[in-house]
Structure 1
């Protein structure tokens, strides 16, 4: 019997070598494929608007370009971004079963991102915000507000989101809190009256938009037994509540502006006119989805214009 080379053994050795050689590359490619889905989880479209809110809060208190050189400002803006991004991921984690029906292409229900990975990402974002707050704002109200915001957002989807009107209030507080956090991180003493007014206006406008969105989602929420204001009290009652809250915020802003040149008062009144008229249009069209969409978009534009006007008003006190 002739003893020659065993071709089967050689093939097995080559195959084993090839598999082990390329395993890290496969693992790395999987991580690369997950990265866009992870970015999608944190809603990158919200990064610029969130930064604008932080910038406005800092600018009103310190209305000079030096603001962009202040470490406290950038830290406060980063903390806000981390908390906002974490809240987006938390919302997707809790809503994964609902998204399997309504948004199956989202990263979690589609399986592009594992639930464990999303949970770890949330932990990283919230922990980073907590550490930054404890390092740069130790034993202050700002640090406690970071802790309270994280806790509130973790509990929002499983608890607060299903409580009538409470969810609307929390959304308003969180959005307007972005302005307050950066403003008070920069001292919060200069232009305090102006800062407080824009915080109240943004809070009222955010609650107004949340109520309009609830009216738009009336049919789906009613079928899902989600007890929003329009589901419990009807669309007209929700519209009246939304309009009243918005009018209070606008009236407050105009009253504060009276201590500034009339140009500021006129500017605020003109900037607020789209959201004031759009809510009336919504009522005329029985809160159709299209009219609500126009009203929400109009409110967003009005807020942006008001941000510019308030930032300009802050420079007048230099």
Structure 2
């Protein structure tokens, strides 16, 4: 990978993004057809490769990409060694959280949180979710060890077709209880941002069927398989409509669970379990009923769009900031050069 000004790279990629959107004649990502989405993703990958040639990846990464394309799910196994996982969890237990699933500190217009910091055991559990502020989680021990490990970057490279960029990282609690507020990710949905995305998850608590597993509808990211699953459905839903809209009915989750009944995957496992998904496929977090769940996501795409929070200065990371160009490039959407 060649050294270059990452800001200029993003500016050029953004121009290619705008051109590709105008070529397919759409304003919004979620109005792209399957063919248009593929063309657009390929144009962006080509633009990135012209600026930052990606490192070659092996057969394992290519197999991971194939599995993500077909099923939308790839099992990563243990995300961190047990001692590093424990240090990460101990750090988080001492830090405050905010009552939302993603804390957008700079956007007061988005009323997802009352912006009151609360700690675990001292009021945080009175709400559906508890999310960490972005600077807090980026300072967490061993977080970058997980996010930037070669097998994850290789799989993301193979899936996206070019060097990946982290554009969203989040760590949040889901608490059991009866809450009247919005469920956010606890209903089936696609992630519409960026057009082509793969997301790495890691559980920081043990997760079984009673503690809020991530549920994924295998193959729902794949247009061909979606057409097969939808054949003859009583809602008369087509793959073309679902490509550009979530299902909006009186009981939307009933639709997903019935139509994809043979393809529902509940991803459970002990603390440290990790996996990747193509989050364009339909997914949700189940509501925990027995104990809270703590989880991490890291979203990879082809360009560093503005995240949901301010970037942190690279000096805040100290010695944790990587020395090699590949991992620095992956972080450029989240970390501001000094």
TM-score by length of 1: 0.26
Which protein has the bigger helix share? 1
Whose strand proportion is higher, 1 or 2? 2
Higher relative contact order (CA 8 A, sep 6+): 2
Looking at CA atoms only, which structure, 1 or 2, has the larger radius of gyration?
1
User: TM-score when scaled to structure 2?
Assistant: 0.25
